[in-house]
Each structure stands twice: as structure tokens, then as C-alpha cells.
Chain A
Amino acid sequence: MRLRGAAATAVALAVAGLLAAPFLVRECDVCEAATSIFLSGYVAGKCTIGVTPDIQAVNLAVDTTAPQRVLIGSVLQDCNGTRSYAIAVTSWNCAAPPTGGKLMADGTDDYLPYTVEFNNPTTGGSQGVVTNLLATACTGQIARTVTSHNVSDETSTVYLNFTGSTELEAGTYEDVVTISITMM
């Protein structure tokens, strides 16, 4: 019984010592520390256009003698910067004399002049309707200017304006209109 009583006492002292030890000994150089992780993401500026030609663009009634305004395509625009961008128009045949947009055919000197028209959303101060593009000049033909605005899925529609002629020589009259977007 005494042994049992002594053992019980020793155990009790050991437990008490363990519980008391942290409060009795405090020997650490850096007892608390904190640091941080810098999180960062980068979204690059990205301006894109998706040009969808309309089937009418390759079925122009060039020999119909009346003023015609033909939908030739649409231009879907996305630009995630708050900077500005411009959409410009050029044409393959424009620089050939006489200067200006025109449909031309192989093997003949005949041609049919045209102008390009853009119908735009007015976001970012864009002009709603821009006409006479490529009428007499081949460069600096700005179809839309968006100033300091984020543009998401906006569409401009593109028209061709011309007057057909019954005096054109037989043949296939062609040109290619190039639409470009430039972030400024």
C-alpha cells in the first residue's frame, strides 16, 4: 500500500511538472514571425476583330444601273484595354489609277468605283455612320475610332456603295477590302 501510495505521488508530481514546464522555461530567439506572399496577375491588352463576310460581297450586281448599298460583312470587335483603338480600311485595287476603291477585271481596262461605309456602335465616341471610305484616298481611311473604352463584342456593319454600269466589259470584277484594328 505504501509503494502504491509512493508511485501515485510520483506520477502526480510528474504530471504537474510537465504542465508547469512551459511556464517555467522560455528560451527562444524568434518566438513570433510573419511574412507575406505578393499575389499579382497581368492582363495584357488584347484587341481583336472577327470579320464575317456576307455572301452578297461576292455577288455584286455590277451591271445594274442604279445606286446600290450592299451589306458585305460585319466586324466583331473586342478590346480589353481602356486605351483607344482604330479600325482602318484599305483595298488591294485602291492605289491603281484612278486612286480609290474599285472593282477590276482581268483582261480589261474597265472598272467600277465604289466607296465603303461603316455603321458603328457609338461606344467610346465612335461615329455612328462613316461613309465615303476609299472614295479618293487609300490610306488613313478610318472607319471607327474608340477612345479610352473597353469594348466587348461590339459589331460594326460594312456596306459597299456603288452604281452599276451596263457598259462594263464581260468579266469578273473583284477587289479585296482589308479591315484592320490598331490599338493606340
Chain B
Amino acid sequence: MPGMTRKKWLLAGAAAVVVIGTGVGLVLRPDGCDICQAANDILLQGSVAQNCTVDVTTEAAAGSLPLTTAGAQRVQVGTVLQNCNKKVGYTLAVTSANCAAAPTGAKVVDSVSTEYLAYSGEFANPTTGGSTASVTGLLASACAGQTGRDVTNAKIISETSTVFVNFTGNTGLAAGTYQDTLTITMNVK
């Protein structure tokens, strides 16, 4: 919109009574009127605050992973409801509490036996804003820069990504409670 400087002037004078006749377009006419036309402006303005949020809902299955079931497992552990009214976009980053401990990568760990089971994260996304529908291998071998969703040039209103963990069960795991915590963060661009 052109004329931002002019609008600032208007805003500054918004509370003042402006009497037309000075500084506005006057048209002198020979047929008997000194001020035949006059005009003035009212600036209209309203603001919409940035509102970019994620709301993570944890699935019950996240607390009862079949760690000792042989074979490849893909378990839905949660959903991520997203809203963002900044069209520039955002990313969803995923980190894990145990990732940095050797060996690097996501893993559920039994703090007593110190045994662990490696896993990777997966995001199933709507494709709005150029998002990749399925992002796999998250946290498999790196802990930083793990992006579950990348939205560009789109407003997002109540879209949900689904989060899975992928692992291969191990029947030889020591008895115990194996845990990790995933953190999902929205970063507006």
C-alpha cells in the first residue's frame, strides 16, 4: 500500500479537529463560491497479532511401546496441532532427551540396566506450504537440525501432523522401564 508516510501524518492528527479550507484542495470558481470543494481523510487501522502455536497430544501407545516384539515396529505416539498466521512459514523441530548420549541418536534407555533401544522419528504431514508429506529417519543419527515439517508461504489453520516412532523390537532387552522424551518446537521463519 503506498503512502505510508502520509498515513503516519494522518495517525498523528487523528484526534484533532480538522477544518477544511487550509491545506486541502480548494477550487476557486468565478461563479460565487470561494470554497467549492474540500476533503479530508480518516485513517482506518486494525492489527492482527502473530499467533503461531503447536499443541501436542500424546497417544497412549507412546507409554507402552512393544520393545520386545520382534520385527519392525511403527507406533503412533502423538499428534501436533498447528496454527500459524504468519505466511512466511515455520519449521517443526524435533529433539530427544537421550539423543546426545552415546551412541548419538534417539533411544529409549533403561536407567538401571543402561540398556537402550534405538528408534527414529517420523512425521506425517499435510502438504500445505510445500511440506513433505512423510519425513522419516528423524534423530536416527543426529540430534540437531531435525525438522519434522517445513512450511513456506502459507498460513496454517488447525492442521495436524502425526508423529510415529520406528524401531525394531529386541527380545533380548533386560527387564526394566525404557524411556525417552521427544520435544517438538515450532520456529517461525
Contact = CB atoms under 8 A, between A and B. Distances in A.
B19 A48 contact: yes
Given A49-B20, A50-B17, A178 B41 contact: yes
Interface residues of A, number: 52
B47 A45 contact: no
B34 A174 contact: no
Contacts of B41: 51, 176-179
Main SS class of interface, A: strand
Interface in A96-139: 103-108, 110, 112, 114
A103 B20 CA distance: 25
B7 A174 contact: yes
Interface stretch (A4-12, A27-35, A58-66, A141-149): A58-66
A152 interface: no
State the main secondary structure of chain B at its contact with A.
mixed
A103 to B, nearest CB: 6
Contact of B38 (A103, A107, A181): A181
Contacts of B2: 92
Interface string A161-180: 00000011111111111111
Contact of A181 (B3, B14, B37, B43): B37
Contact of B86 (A53, A57, A169, A173): A169
Interface string B46-67: 1111110000000000000000
B32 A177 contact: no
Interface of A: 44-53, 55, 57-63, 72-73, 76, 81, 92-93, 103-108, 110, 112, 114, 158, 160, 167-183
17 contacts: A44-B32, A45-B36, A48-B21, A48-B35, A53-B42, A57-B42, A76-B17, A92-B2, A103-B44, A103-B46, A112-B46, A173-B47, A179-B40, A179-B42, A180-B39, A181-B39, A182-B37
